[in-house]
Amino acid sequence: MNSLIDILIFLPAILIAITFHEYAHGRVAYALGDDTPRLQGRLTVNPLPHIDWIGFAMLLIFHFGWAKPVQVNPYNFKQISLKQGMMLVSLAGPGMNLLLALAGMIAMRLLTPFHGSEWGGIALQLFHPLVTINIILAAFNLIPLPPLDGSKILAGLLPDSGASMMYSLEQYGTVILLLLIVTGIASKIFLPIAGFLYNLLYTLVFF
């Protein structure tokens, strides 16, 4: 996003991606028995309750930012263990982003015959960011490092001893993640994942 026009094109996709990502976390937590997201007004697709304004400004300026995390109390979960419940809640965010990317990819395929027209070209310009932003957000959050969703997804798949080790990293996770971002290591981890996911969706839709 190197110009105002780029920002205006990508902004709707960014707002949709982060809003539905956080909404999905809250909706699954609520479905599992935790009322915390509802009480905090997070069961909505209105972007405003989900925006962290500092993180949003960082995203626009430095191309790295964050939304306001949905608070979840796993001790309220019913009929499921804390570990498995958190895995499902964490999966919901990236899963929602992949569904949005898939929807955007399908729209792009339907619009492809009209790419030569003015309105068709504009529509494709709007849907392509929806696909890429959601895939990048999903891939980044799948990195198995706290506070990202991937850490709790991995913890849900590991035995209790391994899950405890993952949870113990939470106090250092943010610092480690920032170091990975600054050094460029994070992009070397999630960009191949993003490429794989993009190619997978493209193959499914443009078969």
Active site residues: 22
Measured CA to CA in angstroms, residue 75 lies from 34, 69, 72, 151, 179 at distances of 8, 18, 9, 19, 32
What does the alpha-carbon distance between residue 194 and residue 180 come to, in Å, rounded to a whole number? Answer: 17
Q: How far is CA 184 from the centre of its chain?
A: 20
What does the alpha-carbon distance between residue 66 and residue 18 come to, in Å, rounded to a whole number? Answer: 8
Q: How far apart are the first and last CA of the chain?
A: 30
Three-state SS annotation for 43-107: CCCCCHHHCCHHHHHHHHHHCCCCCCCCCCCHHHCCCCCHHHHHHHHHHHHHHHHHHHHHHHHHH
What does the alpha-carbon distance between residue 49 and residue 109 come to, in Å, rounded to a whole number? Answer: 33
Q: How far is CA 3 from the centre of its chain?
A: 24
